[in-house]
Amino acid sequence: MNDLVEKLHHRFRKTFGEEPLMVRSPGRINLIGEHTDYNEGFVLPAAVDKAIYFAVAPRSDHHCHLVAMDLEASFQFGLSDLEPSPRGWPNYIMGVVDQLQKAGGRLWGFNCMFGGDIPIAAGLASSAAIEAGLAFALNELFQLGFSLSEIARMAMQAENEFVGVQCGIMDQLANVYGRADRFIHLDCRSLDFDYVPFSDQPAEIVLCDTQISRELSASEYNLRRRQCEEGVRFFQQFFTTVHSLRDVTLDMLESYRQRMDPVIYQRCLYVLQENDRVMGAVRDLRNGDLESLGIRLLESHMGLRDMFEVSCPSLDALVEAASRVEGVYGARMMGAGFGGCTINLVHPDALPVFQQTMSDTFQKRLKKPPLLYRVKIEEGTSVISM
């Protein structure tokens, strides 16, 4: 049991005077398959060893008392009084409560304290960890009987409807279905998935955090989603079989290119190519071909930079620097874009040179102190035994 869990447990008991249910809710990485989830495509995420931890206990009334330990902030609301707050962070909690009640969950009031070590705005899905983690905790606390898939979907809808970010379901599903040492090959249309082992690969996963506050991220993310939807509507004029970009082929795209808005064409082309890269990446992992996998990661970054236009100079500088290091299989930006982290696949023997190279790049090109995280692939959301 780590110090953070013990601190949270102690503070909850001191604040509320009762024994809580403890839940761990992990962040996630996504090896490849960016901006494909809301296009009903393929992704390759995994839960990691950075997490949000919850302590929750029922109340005898219909009031909810929240404490965000890392922010040293608190908030209260009633189950029948769910209105978005200008303070921001309570909306992730209230959005989950709203979805649980809409789905027929019979809730009572509750006390909730949470904190964690997932870097905020770094592309590790801290918001999904809060949403799915709380939904899981309340499902356990009140014995609501929802499945993991239902928990993931309600967590996504909380972010869509209450927070206002039109995310797909990848983050939430990776959160609840994560398995140690395995990537999740997820079909975001059917929600079918299988696990792809990683533990036997001679590679470490290292994230480099640009430390850029992503004010543009939510608005530009929603814009990219609308542009993809515009591409779908374009093809629906000619094909009754098209329901998402998943149904559009490269041949169809090229045949109609001259009739399309050039920006919409580029967005669609990226998504189609990225889906192909995910399928190739799964084959590479199963075959142990990390050289081929690394090439796909770099191609993914170039597509995000040039066709989807969600990268930024800091992300590009980090990927460029990593790509020059012998023993780095591949690197790319990860997450919504405009900041956040790069994900790097590095041979263990190359770690010292990689870390020094990235430290120099941070200081000389980003003018910032280096911030690197080595992450391990861990289990999904679960109850902690105290």
Which residues are catalytic, by number? 171
Beta-strand ranges (E) seen in 177-224 are 182-187, 193-197, 204-209
What is the Cα–Cα distance from 201 to 183, expressed in whole angstroms? 12
Closest-CA residue to 124 (of 332, 338, 336): 336
Closest-CA residue to 35 (of 226, 185, 177, 234): 226
Helix (H) or strand (E) holding 137: helix 126-141
* Greatest extent of the chain over all pairs of C-alpha atoms, in Å: 67
Residue 28's DSSP bridge partners are 47
Closest-CA residue to 21 (of 30, 12, 29): 12
Residue 76's DSSP bridge partners are 65
Q: What is the DSSP string of 276-314?
A: HHHHHHHHHHHHT-HHHHHHHHHHHHHHHHHTS----HH
What is the Cα–Cα distance from 344 to 207, expressed in whole angstroms? 6
